[in-house]
Structures are given as C-alpha cells and as structure tokens.
Amino acid sequence: MSVDEAENPAEADLAVAETEPPAPVLRVVAGQPTDEELAAVVAVLLGSGAAGDVVARRFRRWSTPTRTLGRLDAARAAMHGWSRARR
C-alpha cells in the first residue's frame, strides 16, 4: 500500500513508517574508522552490557564481606572454637 492509496491519515502514517529505514544506533562523528575498528567498538559496547548483569547480582546477607567487619574477635574465637568447646 502506498501513501496515495491510504484512505485515512492513520493508515498513511503507517505506510510512511514502514518505508522509512530505522535510525542508526551508532554514528561516526569524525575520522574514517575501518570495519575492524567499528567491529571492535561494537564488541566492547555489547560486552559491557552483559557485564552489568553480573555486577548487579545481589549478595545474600550471610555471604557479604561487610557482615564480618568489626568482628575480628569473633572470627578468631571461631578459629579456635573447636578446642574450647570441650572445656
């Protein structure tokens, strides 16, 4: 269906939207990068998005390192607790 064949404005907008190419995600502002350089940039950007999921992982309370801060005496007591338990 072409724009001229559309009967109402909503159909005309759909016809125009279907023929327009999508906007580019990346744009080179200056310089003449090679295909390999562009591929490297795309790989880094895609890789950084995947790494965000790992960093955002939530720790459970029992496994957080901050749980033991300020409790060095408790950690030392736990190391020798087995020998003190029989007394």
Could you report the per-residue pLDDT of 6-52, keeping only the tens digit for each? 466 666 666 655 677 778 788 889 999 999 999 999 898 888 766 55
For the chain, helix, strand, coil in percent to 5 are 60, 0, 40
pTM (two decimals): 0.35
Which run of H or of E encompasses 11? helix 9-19
Mean pLDDT, residues 52-56 taken together: 53
Q: Are 22 and 31 in contact (CB under 8 A)?
A: no
Compute the distance between CA of residue 48 and CA of residue 50 in angstroms, rounded to an integer: 5
> What is the token pair recorded at 79?
């190391």
